[in-house]
Structures are given as C-alpha cells and as structure tokens.
Amino acid sequence: MEWRRGEITVAVLGQLDNPVDIDGWAVLRDALDIVETTSEYQDELQERFEEFLDSFTSEAYDTLEAADDDYEVDLPLTELTELEELATRWGVPSPELGSLYRDMAEIQDRRDESEEEQRRRDRRRQNQPTLWDAVESVPHGGASIFDHL
C-alpha cells in the first residue's frame, strides 16, 4: 500500500508541478498540504513561486503605469488579492502587493467617479427640454406660428 501512495504522489505532483497562473499555484499549494514531499522539493517549489510572484509583480507595475495614461487598461485587483493570500500560504509575503492594490484601487475609484459623473451629465442632458419642447408648437387665438419663434 505504501508504494502505491508514492506512485500516486508522483502522479499528482507530476500533473500539478508546472503551474503558470495563480489558480495553478493555488492548486499546487493545496496538494502540498495533503501530499507528503521532501523539504528540498518544497524549497524548490517555493523558489519557483517567488519567481512567479516577482514576474507577476513586475507586470502589475507595468499595468499600473499604463493605467495612469489609458482608461481602457484592465486593473487586476482580484488577482492581486488572491496572490497576496497565496503568497502568505507559500510563506512568501510580499508587501508590494498591498501597495500595488491600493494604487490600482485609487485609479479604479477615479474611473468609477468619472463614469458616475458622465452618467449624471447624460441624465441631465436627457431631462433638459429642447427648443421645440420649450416653445408651444400650436398658435393660440389668431396668432401665427411666427409669433412663437
């Protein structure tokens, strides 16, 4: 039975061993919480996670810079939150993630305020009468239509 456990461990980790995104790293971390491995293997995976974290953080800084100039740049706020929690689980806390999140949240708040202001302006424009709405279109009591212009 013990030899089967080893085969299962190798098979599971063989499938999960090369994560490329946050979800993959989370699943691998979950598996490591259940499956017994050597400390050397866990250290190697932790180093690879640190590389992934550094790469993601670098890309997030690039995104932050681009978002300042371009309103259409997507802000990875959810991913930053997930990654910060995952980094703690891997034992690699990163204070940069919290700072990045706050900076991106400020940009998102400005965007939200701008969109709300634009909606208010659009509603005001829709509620303002046009020249034709403001002027009676039917002449009264012998007046001509030109009296209303």
Per-residue pLDDT of the chain (149 residues; tens, 9 = 90+): 566 777 777 777 888 889 999 999 999 999 999 888 899 999 999 999 999 999 999 999 999 999 988 888 899 999 999 999 999 999 998 889 999 999 999 999 998 998 888 888 888 877 766 555 555 555 556 666 666 55
Q: Can you give the pTM of this predicted structure?
A: 0.73
Domain ranges of the chain: 1-41, 50-128
Q: Are 67 and 104 in contact (CB under 8 A)?
A: yes
What's the rounded Cα separation, in Å, for the pair 24 and 58?
19
Residue partners of 145: CB distance under 8 A and separation at least 6: 139
